[in-house]
């Protein structure tokens, strides 16, 4: 408060001095006799008016640019209708599947990340322009036999990263498809019409795949579905992972579409483990090196999550319930050096807790992607210290990026899958922060699902 007073006093003195100087110059430019009234007007009234106008302008500017009052500041005794006014739609997480360098079992992946057993390392198979091994993380035990047989003669012609991405899809998709098919009721009779799976499939694929690659990917996904379900297949749509497309935007679009009665099977895949792709990143100055701490660390993963609307469990066990992710935009990407501003992420955490009517101290951990970059890790740690003080920013954070590298479109979907797995294991709320994008931030809260008691 004292420092602000000194600032106001200094500003007032500066404005007074400028006003006096302007008045003296004005008097010198006009030959006239200066009387007491002129002195009073020019040296007292004018500076006072200038200071008053400046103060008024400052108040107006503060009012226009001030952020909205945080909703979390509302009184706990606020009426129930006030909480309902900010409530957000919810989805149920029914099944998950993952394919990562730490394995295909979500619980085992979480344990490996928590223990520090999986981290990107220099790989001698890939050399940068300085002749040094590239730091990356890849899946060592990918199976290609079935995919190569399906691709036939084209197996040797497709890019390596594309081939690896397709090979990861069965590990992520098949467990979810099995869970869904096992929960389907039997046909009414042997003569019944073919049944359709009650889902719509949305696949997020890496930006840059050409038309032939998109066609192959869609046919491969449809092939995997046909192996699990011989009746009417569900619709499949592929979306390129551009800046305006992510797991959270796909989920939001589905949740906000009141006409969509099908469940959502969200599938994402990414691989940058490819010599040509790594070389291009290096030439563009975007590849991680000792002098590029914020550079890309190539990684790969696939993830599949089955969502249903509230009250529609499809006869399956519910892993968690998920509030519609909240999104906000940073003014600029976090700085590589100096203090990192975490205000946007902190605000999202506040709003998410209030909208979901969940107390911050109930949260058991936070899952995030993109924290392979030091600035993003600092941003998340700062937000946790501010909004989740009961959590340790290191031991209570499941950092997917730091453990598995840059995962592109697959990062946010994998984070959703692992967060749901944690909710199921701990039966406590889990926060999820999507921070891989330079400026876009997204925050979701997953909570345990409590089925409604049966009524007589």
Residue 32 pLDDT: 67
φ/ψ of residue 403, rounded to 5: -95, -30
Higher pLDDT: 25 or 2? It is: 25
**Can you list the positions of beta strands (E) in 324-377?**
326-329, 365-368
Residues 440, 296: Cα–Cα separation, whole Å = 17
In 3D space, the residue among 391, 375, 401, 404 whose CA is nearest the CA of residue 117 turns out to be 404
Domain boundaries defined on the chain: 90-183+197-447
Taking the CB of residue 272, how many other CB atoms lie within 10 A of it? 25
Please check whether residue 431 is in contact with residue 349, taking contact to mean a CB–CB distance below 8 angstroms.
yes
Percent pLDDT > 90 in the chain is 46
CATH 3.40.50.150 is the classification of domain 90-183+197-447: no
Residues 313, 396: Cα–Cα separation, whole Å = 30
Token pair 């066990």: residue = 317
Cα 413–Cα 415–Cα 416 angle in degrees, nearest 5: 65
Confidence band for 367, pLDDT divided at 50, 70 and 90: very high
Residue 117 pLDDT: 86
The separation between CA 88 and the C-alpha centre of its own chain, rounded to angstroms, equals: 17
Least trusted range by pLDDT, from 3-7, 9-13, 313-317:
3-7
What is the mean pLDDT of the segment spanning 134-154? Answer: 92
Enter the DSSP assignment of 293.
Answer: T
The pLDDT mean for the chain works out to 84
Residue burial 94-113, b: 16+ Cβ < 10 Å; e: rest: bbbbbbbbbbbebeebbebb
Strands 199-205 and 133-136: unpaired
Model pLDDT for residues 224-236, shown as the tens digit of each residue: 999 999 999 999 9
- In the structure encoding, which two tokens stand for residue 356, read together? 């979901």
For residue 37, the SS3 value is helix
CA-to-CA dists, residue 444 to 167, 192, 412, angstroms? 29, 41, 11
Model pLDDT for residues 25-42, shown as the tens digit of each residue: 766 776 666 677 777 777
Least trusted range by pLDDT, from 41-50, 389-398, 407-416:
41-50
Residue 375 pLDDT: 86
Least trusted range by pLDDT, from 2-6, 89-93, 174-178, 351-355:
2-6
Model pLDDT for residues 393-408, shown as the tens digit of each residue: 999 999 998 999 999 8
List of residues 6+ apart from 322 with CB closer than 8 A:
90, 91, 92, 93, 251, 307, 416, 420, 444, 445, 446
Residue 74 pLDDT: 36
Burial of 448 (0-12, 13-18, 19+ CB in 10 A): middle
Please check whether residue 346 is in contact with residue 386, taking contact to mean a CB–CB distance below 8 angstroms.
yes
Confidence band for 55, pLDDT divided at 50, 70 and 90: confident
Model pLDDT for residues 177-192, shown as the tens digit of each residue: 999 999 998 887 777 7
Enter the DSSP assignment of 232.
Answer: B
For residue 349, the SS3 value is helix
- In the structure encoding, which two tokens stand for residue 357, read together? 């009517």
Residue 387 pLDDT: 92
Confidence band for 376, pLDDT divided at 50, 70 and 90: confident
Token pair 């009779």: residue = 189
- pTM: predicted TM-score of the whole model, two decimal places: 0.78
φ/ψ of residue 121, rounded to 5: -135, 160
Higher pLDDT: 48 or 412? It is: 412
Residue 270 pLDDT: 95
The separation between CA 146 and the C-alpha centre of its own chain, rounded to angstroms, equals: 33
List of residues 6+ apart from 39 with CB closer than 8 A:
none
Token pair 């892993």: residue = 319
Q: Is the pLDDT of residue 70 over 60?
A: no
Residue 325 pLDDT: 87
Which element (helix H / strand E) includes 173?
helix 160-183
CA-to-CA dists, residue 430 to 253, 328, 417, angstroms? 22, 20, 12
In 3D space, the residue among 407, 63, 28 whose CA is nearest the CA of residue 204 turns out to be 407
Q: Is the pLDDT of residue 245 over 70?
A: no
Q: What is the largest CA-CA distance in the chain?
A: 112
Residue burial 29-43, b: 16+ Cβ < 10 Å; e: rest: eeeeeeeeeeeeebe
Model pLDDT for residues 88-135, shown as the tens digit of each residue: 688 999 999 999 999 999 999 999 998 888 899 999 999 998 899 999
């Amino acid at each position: 408060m004292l420092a602000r007073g000194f600032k106001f006093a200094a500003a007032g003195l500066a404005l007074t001095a400028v006003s006096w100087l302007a008045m003296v110059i004005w008097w010198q430019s006009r030959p006239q006799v200066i009387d007491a009234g002129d002195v009073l007007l020019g040296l007292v009234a004018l500076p006072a008016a200038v200071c008053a106008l400046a103060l008024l302008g400052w108040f107006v500017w503060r009012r226009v640019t001030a952020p909205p009052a945080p909703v979390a500041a509302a009184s706990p005794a606020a009426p129930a209708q006030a909480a309902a006014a900010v409530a957000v739609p919810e989805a149920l997480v029914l099944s998950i599947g993952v394919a990562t360098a730490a394995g295909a079992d979500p619980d085992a992946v979480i344990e490996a990340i928590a223990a520090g057993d999986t981290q990107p390392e220099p790989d001698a198979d890939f050399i940068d322009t300085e002749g040094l091994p590239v730091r990356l993380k890849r899946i060592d035990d990918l199976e290609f036999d079935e995919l190569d047989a399906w691709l036939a003669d084209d197996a040797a012609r497709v890019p390596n990263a594309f081939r690896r991405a397709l090979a990861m899809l069965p590990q992520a998709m098949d467990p979810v498809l099995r869970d869904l098919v096992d929960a389907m009721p039997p046909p009414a009779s042997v003569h019944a019409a073919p049944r359709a799976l009650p889902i719509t499939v949305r696949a997020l694929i890496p930006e840059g795949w050409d038309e032939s690659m998109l066609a192959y990917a869609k046919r491969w996904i449809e092939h995997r579905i046909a192996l699990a379900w011989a009746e009417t297949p569900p619709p499949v749509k592929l979306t390129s992972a551009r800046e305006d497309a992510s797991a959270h935007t796909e989920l939001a679009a589905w949740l906000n579409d009141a006409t969509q009665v099908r469940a959502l099977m969200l599938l994402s895949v990414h691989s940058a483990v490819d010599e040509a792709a790594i070389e291009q990143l290096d030439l563009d100055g975007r590849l991680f090196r000792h002098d590029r701490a914020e550079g890309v660390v190539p990684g790969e993963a696939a993830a599949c999550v089955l969502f249903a609307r509230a009250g529609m469990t499809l006869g399956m066990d519910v892993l968690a319930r998920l509030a519609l992710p909240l999104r906000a935009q940073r003014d600029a990407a976090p700085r590589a050096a100096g203090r990192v501003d975490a205000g946007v992420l902190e605000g999202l955490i506040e709003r998410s807790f209030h909208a979901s009517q969940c107390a911050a101290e109930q949260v058991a951990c936070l899952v995030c992607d993109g924290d392979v970059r030091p600035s993003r890790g600092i941003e998340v740690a700062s937000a946790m210290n501010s909004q989740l003080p009961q959590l340790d920013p290191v031991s209570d954070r499941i950092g997917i990026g730091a453990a598995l590298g840059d995962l592109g479109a697959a990062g946010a979907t994998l984070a959703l899958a692992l967060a749901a797995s944690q909710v199921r294991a701990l039966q406590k709320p889990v926060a999820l922060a999507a921070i891989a994008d330079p400026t876009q931030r997204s925050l979701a809260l997953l909570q345990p699902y409590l089925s409604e008691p049966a009524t007589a």
